[in-house]
Amino acid sequence: MEQYIIKGGKALAGEVTIGGAKNAALGILAAAVMTDEPVVIENLPDIRDINVMLQTMENIGAKVERLDRHSVRMCSGNISCMNVENEYIRKIRGSYYLIGALLGKYKQAQVALPGGCNIGSRPIDQHIKGFEALGAVVKIQYGLIQAEAKHLTGSHIYFDMVTVGATINVMLAAVLAEGLTILENAAKEPHIVDVANFLNSMGANIKGAGTDVIRIKGVPKLHGSTYSIIPDQIEAGTFMLVAAATKGDVTIKNVIPKHLEAITAKLEEIGVQVEEFDDSIRVVATKRLGHTQVKTLPYPGFPTDMQPQISTLLVISEGTSIVTEGVFENRFKYVDELAKMGASIRVEGTTAIIDGVDLLTGAIVSAPDLRAGAALVIAGLVAEGYTVVEQVEYIERGYEDFESKLCELGAVMEKIDANDEKAVRKFKLKAC
């Protein structure tokens, strides 16, 4: 098991370049199996969830050729097995997009129930509702989701709640269905638009992605494509929060500022200076920041995947702030870890009441999930003394080269083996 050891207190400064969006890439990789022609995907993030997905697609017969660290060529003409079941695939969330893709193309799919961050119950009833509306028979048994259909026919589907996963999954199942599918109450995240744009580049007929009504006219088949994934909105937002929390001056490159508007607005509200350029954003904080209220909502609201990070920033801001988690039921597991560092947070249901403190002090903390892990790193970067963040494998699911990007901005941190006492001593000596 690896861990980060961090010596806090430094203002981070410099430039960081953002990678491709994890939550777009997972849907796009699944969509790539829907054509027998070669597909080239560029700007893929080199992170564990993506590598697990690529391995899984090879396991079912897709030919995957790494062109460079961030590009692959895939050929799915030889897919023979519709049964996606391996120990790794159960650890990630995006595996379930293979149901929509395989069902859409082969009219059958059998995929292990999805894993992913433990931030709530995360049912898949809306995915199933959409598949069944298109004419599939769906069963959950032996830990697998089994879907099959003699024929897929377009349908008018109204999601009970805004769901990123179901919007993407049902869109995948509908692109080759006969006739028109209308998705109402659809999710509008940038990664939904990216998956739709990729499918349209393969010859699909999707209109309205990015709005709450998506219209999909089924087409007979899809052709190959070369496509580059959009920058990761949440990785960019995380580095914005790093700059703000450490009172730094960081220029974040390869971003789409529009995707960051909710984060920018909230940061400016509490006193952070944010300067937007065409494909970069500069974040500067020089003084103690103020308090505010945040409620996480589906896009274009404040992203739930930025909730642990903004809460950590508010822990060291002036006054009392309120953070309400509006998407998942159980996304405050990191609060106990922050309390070990001196934070004053009270959680009541899905709301956290945060009393700003002057100082956090280093401690040994454990990452409960991907974004909470990133938030604990932010806490370590501002705390006095040394912080050890355990379970960094969660963080590496969604952030490429996280510690080296932070070190390039001046962070004093290292990734070490959990049992390597010598490495801890060596780091502390070096960091003095």
Of residues 344, 395, 406, the one with CA closest to residue 3: 395
Long-range pairs of 126-129 with CB within 8 A, sequence gap ≥ 24: 126/159, 126/160, 126/161, 126/163, 126/165, 126/166, 127/96, 127/99, 127/100, 127/163, 127/165, 127/166, 127/169, 127/170, 129/157, 129/159, 129/160, 129/166
Candidate residues 240, 398, 402, 409; the one interacting with ligand EPZ per rule CB under 6 A: 398
Candidate residues 7, 107, 188, 371; the one interacting with ligand EPZ per rule CB under 6 A: 371
Contact 406, 377 (CB under 8 A): yes
Q: For residues 334 and 210, give the distance between their C-alpha atoms in angstroms, rounded to a whole number.
A: 31
234 three-state secondary structure: helix
CB of 173 to ligand EPZ, least distance (A): 14
CB of 193 to ligand EPZ, least distance (A): 13
Asked if residue 163 binds ligand EPZ (CB under 6 A), the reply is: yes
81 vs 161 by CB, closer to ligand EPZ: 161
Candidate residues 3, 76, 225, 304; the one interacting with ligand EPZ per rule CB under 6 A: 304
CB of 321 to ligand EPZ, least distance (A): 21
Q: What is the DSSP string of 271-336?
A: T-EEEE-SSEEEEE--S-----EEEB-STTSB-GGGHHHHHHHHHTSSSEEEEE--S-S---TTHH
359 three-state secondary structure: coil
Options 81, 117, 407, 432, the catalytic residue: 117
Asked if residue 120 binds ligand EPZ (CB under 6 A), the reply is: yes
Asked if residue 127 binds ligand EPZ (CB under 6 A), the reply is: yes
Asked if residue 122 binds ligand EPZ (CB under 6 A), the reply is: yes
Asked if residue 19 binds ligand EPZ (CB under 6 A), the reply is: no
Q: How many residues does the chain have?
A: 432
80 vs 121 by CB, closer to ligand EPZ: 121
Q: What is the DSSP string of 74-99?
A: EE-TT----EE--TTGGG-SGGGHHH
> What residues between 31 and 90 interact with ligand EPZ by CB under 6 A?
none
Give Rg (Cα) of the chain.
22
CB of 305 to ligand EPZ, least distance (A): 4
> What residues between 88 and 117 interact with ligand EPZ by CB under 6 A?
93-94, 117
Asked if residue 328 binds ligand EPZ (CB under 6 A), the reply is: yes
Asked if residue 305 binds ligand EPZ (CB under 6 A), the reply is: yes
CB of 429 to ligand EPZ, least distance (A): 36
Candidate residues 6, 18, 25, 26; the one interacting with ligand EPZ per rule CB under 6 A: 26
Q: What is the DSSP string of 392-403?
A: HHHHHTT-TTHH
* Catalytic residue list contains 117: yes
Choices 21-29, 101-109, 148-156, 416-424 (CB under 6 A): range interacting with ligand EPZ: 21-29
Choices 19-27, 134-142, 310-318, 343-351 (CB under 6 A): range interacting with ligand EPZ: 19-27
CB of 72 to ligand EPZ, least distance (A): 18
β-sheet bridge partners, residue 228:
42
Q: For residues 157 and 162, give the distance between their C-alpha atoms in angstroms, rounded to a whole number.
A: 12
Query: How many binding residues for ligand EPZ (CB under 6 A)?
Result: 27
For residue 114, cis peptide bond before it (omega within 30 degrees of 0):
no
Catalytic residue set: 117
Q: Give me the residues that bind ligand EPZ (CB under 6 A), please.
A: 22-23, 26, 93-94, 117, 120-127, 161, 163-166, 187, 304-305, 327-328, 370-371, 398
